[in-house]
Structure 1
Amino acid sequence: MNIAAATNENLANISNYLVYSAMAVYVLAFLAHIAEWVFGSRSKVGKTAAALTAADAAPADSVKVAVKQAGGTAVLERPKVVTRSAAGTRDVPDGPGAAAGDEQGDLYGRFAISLTVLAFLLHFAGVFTRGWSVQRAPWGNMYEFSTTFSMVAVGAYLIFLAAKKNVRWMGLPLITTVLLDLGLAVTVLYTESDQLVPALDSYWLWIHVSLAITCGALFYLGAVATILYLFRDRFEAKVADPSGPQPGSFAKSVLSRMPAAASLDKFAYRVNAAVFPFWTFTIVAGAIWAESAWGRYWGWDPKEVWSFITWVVYACYLHARATAGWKGRKAAYLAIVAFLCFLFNYYGVNMFVDGLHSYSGV
């Protein structure tokens, strides 16, 4: 190993300090998100429940357009816009959000976003200095993959926020899982900063692995939306049926503030559909790299197999969305199974299954 390629221990240590600092700020962001949900006014929650019941009681063709006379000119008032669910059963408005329109709750929410931005910058700096310490891409082992994976997930979330998308409801589950991911990375998965083995020392590391990380982070956002969709959809069904069992006070407080099930379902579908072609290219890029490194495009290595299984299940999910009998909850279950396949490929294959990818380290 030449001097230029030697590990810079000072930068590696700085990277560790930056990652720990990011975790500390993520904890503060987590607490701020909790405060946003706790201190957010519940005054609008009842209105959301009432809107759900009214939307279910009134047939779709009974919606009327009011006409007013203003100075002799007819003025049309548009009816409230609601989102139609994938199953086509309910048209309900989105909830008021984590802060529920309350000024104090909104203040905590903005504080949480500011802390998330600061944590992301520290997180990015930690990943960058890790790569700089060895002059290579900072995703050569499981520790580096994990830290980069959670960084990309937070970055994607912040991009959605900057684009004025209604995703602040994702802040709490996102920060929670990021902390779990980083906690696992710095304990079980931690690996000292070092050079790559020859088979990994390729420009395909920048292409193939970076795509896998990005796709996984976005699939994660889609999975969060899908899980919340299942909870919100069941909540809407209970509220719409006054004769049946009603959700408890905690469920009302939380789920009434969430976007409508249809909105969550649409967000998850759009994310998964947009990412799927890139996941396809990720597998193709991996096959090209395998031919260069091992002399064959496909060898039924466990990582290759589970990448393909993940692709197949996501393909089934997208196909199910286009099939009349598999919309709504059935398709959502498929999306969750697909992400679980990705997680097993991410953690299980590397940690518990021997294969050609084992040299990447735990």
Structure 2
Amino acid sequence: MAGIDGSMAHLSDGLFTTAIAVYAVAMVGFTAEYAFGRVGRRLVTSEVPARELVGAGGPPVGAPGETPVEKTPAAGSGAARIGRWSVVLLILGALVHTASICVRAGAVDAVPWSNMYEFASVAGLVGVLAFLGVLWRLPTLRHLGGFVLLPVILVMFLAGTVLYSRAQPLVPALQSYWLAIHVTLVSIGEGALMTSAVLSVLYLVKIRHDRRSTEPDYRAGSLGTLAAKLPSAAALDKAAYRVVAFSFPVYTVAVICGAIWAEAAWGRYWGWDPKETWAFIAWVVYASYLHARATAGWKGRIAAWINLVGFFSITFNFFVINIVVSGLHSYAGLS
């Protein structure tokens, strides 16, 4: 491969695999905190009769009418420490992942997102960074890291196996500074929207559990057990909305930059190429989501479903349009 540094490309692949392993360990840690930590556990309410314990000459403990406070279980502090160390591992994994992308850029002497493998790698990193950003503002959502990392690891696994492409020079059509601008913005927007989609799924699970738990004959199954440990529906909804509110302007600018690049490369701003069409569909859906959030009658469950439809549009555009449908944007890099 002329112009390609094979040793750097091999190092990049090794760092990519290491990042997946570190993310996997962090996911196990977040899952352990979720399963054994006290976050999300229901507090004992006044519905449970308070017991009055009287020791030898001691005052009564738990007077009638006083709301008891849940005691932290023995495993609670240990689970919290595991959660904190999982965040450290997540940051370490993000650094290794970033190094993989930078080394890949050095190997090809260009921005490393010209095919599906490279784009998926960048989008996975952005998904992780988006979750770290959520933790910065809402640290109580830390124990949900396992849910966020699962799709990230899945996308990276597919990128490293099914979608993998060896380091190679850019094809002539992509040798433009617009590649660095357009595709960078798309990867940032879509990677962050993956995190928002996960939060919307958890939100739907939570509100379904909260609604059904008021029924007299409700029995919590495995899904109910999962939902009982989730944060409040309002917190999940707010986090999902904030990520979309950040990502949508980025995605909008990416679409505009793509149109400008198309005019320079093909002599027209918009030609309803399959990838352009689905990018526009996704943009319309997310615009509808933000509008639904601003409309009193469409908040909550309906808005969450719109968010998921938007992410389905992006996923369909990435996998199906790139692999199955032939068009001007056929740069999957698959052999």
Tell me the TM-score normalised to structure 2 length.
Answer: 0.86
SS of the residue corresponding to residue 245 of structure 1 reads coil
Instruction: Please tell me whether the aligned partners of residues 31 and 143 of structure 2 are also in contact (alpha carbons under 8 angstroms).
Output: no
Q: How does 1:21-32 map to 2 (within 5 A)?
A: 21-32=18-29
Partner of 2:243: 271
**Equivalent runs, 1:14-93 vs 2, <5 Å:** 14-41=11-38, 45-47=41-43
Match of 1:354 among 322, 326, 330: 326
Separation of aligned partners in 2, 1:148 and 1:325: 37
Cα distance in 1 between the residues matched to 2:206 and 2:289: 20
1:361 alignment partner, SS class: coil
CA distance in 1, matches of 2:254, 2:148: 24
Counterpart for residue 232 of structure 2: 260
Residue of structure 2 in register with 1:157 after alignment:
131
What's the TM-score once normalised by structure 1's chain length? 0.80
Residue of structure 1 equivalent to 2:209:
235
Contact 2:34 2:229 in 1 (8 A): no
| Conservation of the 8 A alpha-carbon contact between 1:211 and 1:282 | yes
Map of 1:304 onto structure 2: 276
Aligned residues between the structures: 311
TM-superposed deviation, 1:29: 1.4
Shift of 1:41: 4.2
Residue 126 of structure 1 and its aligned partner are, at CA, apart by 0.7
* 8 Å contact from structure 1 (residues 223, 336) kept in 2: yes
Which of 110-119 and 350-359 deviates more? 110-119
Structure 2 partner of 1:85: none
Deviation at 1:255, TM superposition (A): 2.0
CA distance in structure 1 between the aligned counterparts of 2:160 and 2:252, rounded to whole angstroms: 30
Question: Which deviates the most, 167-176 or 219-228?
Answer: 167-176
Q: Find the partner of 1:341 among 283, 292, 313.
A: 313
Q: Does structure 1 conserve the Cα–Cα contact (< 8 Å) formed by 2:323 and 2:332?
A: no
Which one-letter code corresponds to 1:148 in the other structure? V
Contact 2:31 2:145 in 1 (8 A): no
List runs of 5+ in structure 2 lacking aligned partners.
Answer: 49-69
* 8 Å contact from structure 1 (residues 41, 100) kept in 2: no
Separation of aligned partners in 1, 2:314 and 2:80:
35
- Kindly provide the amino acid, as one letter, of the partner of residue 46 in structure 1: R
In structure 2, the partner of 1:148 is 122
Q: 1:256 and 1:104 mapped to 2: Cα distance? A: 20
Equivalent residue letter for 2:33: E
Identity %: 42
Instruction: Please point out which of 220, 224, 247 is paired with 2:220.
Output: 247
C-alpha distance 349-45 of structure 1, shift in aligned 2 (>3 A): same
Q: Deviation at 1:341?
A: 0.3
Secondary structure, in 3 states, of the residue corresponding to 2:168?
coil
**Preserved contact between residue 19 and residue 96 of structure 2 (Cα < 8 Å):** yes
Q: Which amino acid aligns with 1:263?
A: A
Contact 2:203/2:233, CA 8 A, preserved across alignment: yes
Distance 1:160 1:324 in 2: 25
Q: How well do the aligned residues superpose, as a CA RMSD in angstroms?
A: 2.4
Partner deviation per Cα, 1:192-248 (whole Å, 9 max, x = no partner): 101111111111111110000000011111111111100001111123x24242423
Distance 1:177 1:360 in 2: 20
**Which letter does structure 2 place at the counterpart of 1:289?**
W
